[in-house]
Amino acid sequence: MEPSRDHPLFGGAFSATLPAGAQDVSDLRPVPDNQEVFCHRGTEQSLILELLELQDHVRGERAARFHFEDVGGVQGAEEAGPGQVESVRPLPLDALALQGCSEAWLLTGHQRVAKEHEEP
């Protein structure tokens, strides 16, 4: 079995540890510049990392939820509206490589989105 591996994201600005079997979708088709997309053939699950624009009208945990719901709504996600949030937690700023952040949040959740021409 293939081990998990570190993979550079967004031209090396970030990195992530990907699970075994994750394939970079940009090797198969074009992916927008603000996204990194990985898929797993065996499970047909996808992992999408997306850079989002700052929204001045929401802050903190509300901002994380706003973006999660916005992305889910645009994609037509189902299951309790635009998705199911499992947790939202602040990230310690001293653990971030990105300098100058006043806050950082990690939202973990699930969204069920149908692929093109499929039922969710």
Same domain assignment for residues 11 and 44? yes
By the 8 A CB rule, do 36 and 27 touch? no
Residue by residue, pLDDT tens for the chain (120 residues) are 567 778 888 888 888 888 888 999 999 999 989 899 999 878 878 888 888 888 889 998 999 989 888 877 666 655 545 568 899 999 998 887 777 888 888 888 887 766 655 555
Domain that holds residue 31: 5-50
For residue 93, being part of any structural domain is answered with yes
Same domain assignment for residues 106 and 66? yes
Same domain assignment for residues 64 and 45? no
In this structure, what DSSP letter does residue 59 have? -
Predicted pLDDT of residue 94: 86
Domains identified in the chain, total number: 2
By the 8 A CB rule, do 63 and 55 touch? yes
Angle at 10 between CA 48 and CA 94, to 5 degrees: 95
Tell me how far apart the alpha carbons of residues 117 and 120 are, in angstroms, rounded to a whole number. Answer: 10
Six-digit token string for 108:
């973990």
